[in-house]
Amino acid sequence: MTALMSTVAPVSLSDSQPSDSQPSSRWGILMGLMLSGASWLGTPAMAQGLFYAPRPNPDLTQAQGLQLASDALRLGQFGQQEEALNRLALAAILVPNSAEILFLLGGLQLEFENYRESLDALQAARDLDPENVDILVTLGSAYLRQGSYFAALDVLQRAVDLGGEDAGAFFQLGNAHLMLANFDAAEAAYNTALELDPNFWPALNNIGLVEYERGNLDEAIARFEQTIDLNGDIAEPKLALATALFHPR
């Protein structure tokens, strides 16, 4: 059976409205003229005007990047994930030192199962903001999805050390222990997640998986049934329950 995995939902950057404005390419065009030795620059005065054109305003560039990131959040809410990804990628270029933009980009890359790109963005975000629990948990999720379980365990342990009230962090820590067959540690982490959020059904479901892996079928079945009682609209515990019920005894 497969353990349930999840990522933390990205946080909003601002309440800005979306914009279709794109960053100015004027400086790039001027540099292209200079490098290509274009012959149509005209009079020396015209050429001087081109060559001494002002460089882009860093504040304006940052504002454009943040606006693109805000637009991306709005697009994602309306299901336009690919366009949101494109805007976040451009925003990360315009504002390369924004941990929040890199975090959003890494989370969306993870949704697209672009694991290498996701890890690159999330690792960069972590380097900029090493004590951000959301970034650490999402980075741990990316490591889990990629199969790097020891790396996931290290990052997620750091996350719970920093954010002891985050049920999602303990849930993902439990997943890392489960994938490494550390069943006691996995169960302890899931139980902590449930103490923090009694309605956190994925943790209850995965305790059932721990019992299943231990060979305790009756306990596993009881946990899956409790999960269904807690959230009957979810397919995963029903499939797990069916697997446990039909397992040879």
Q: Is 114 exposed, middle or buried (0-12, 13-18, 19+ CB in 10 A)?
A: middle
Please tell me the predicted confidence (pLDDT) of residue 246.
78
DSSP secondary structure of the chain? -PPP---PPPPP---PPP-------HHHHHHHHHHHT-S---SHHHHHHHHTPPPPPHHHHHHHHHHHHHHHHHHHHTT-HHHHHHHHHHHHHHSTT-HHHHHHHHHHHHHTT-HHHHHHHHHHHHHHSTT-HHHHHHHHHHHHHHT-HHHHHHHHHHHHHH-TT-HHHHHHHHHHHHHTT-HHHHHHHHHHHHHH-TT-HHHHHHHHHHHHHHT-HHHHHHHHHHHHHH-TT-HHHHHHHHHHHTS--
Closest CA to 169 of 199, 210, 203, 198: 203
CB 14 within 8 A of CB 71: no
Q: Which parts of the chain register pLDDT below 70?
A: 1-60, 249
What are the phi and psi torsion angles at 49 (to 5°)?
-65, -35
Q: Give pLDDT tens digits for 199-226.
A: 999 999 999 999 999 999 999 999 999 9
Using a cut of 0.85, tell me whether the model's pTM lies above it: no
Q: Give pLDDT tens digits for 22-48.
A: 433 333 332 333 333 333 333 333 334
Domains (ranges, CATH) in the chain?
A: 58-130 (1.25.40.10)
Buried residues in 170-188 as b, exposed as e (16+ CB within 10 A): bbbbbbbbbbeebeebbbb
Please tell me the predicted confidence (pLDDT) of residue 223.
93
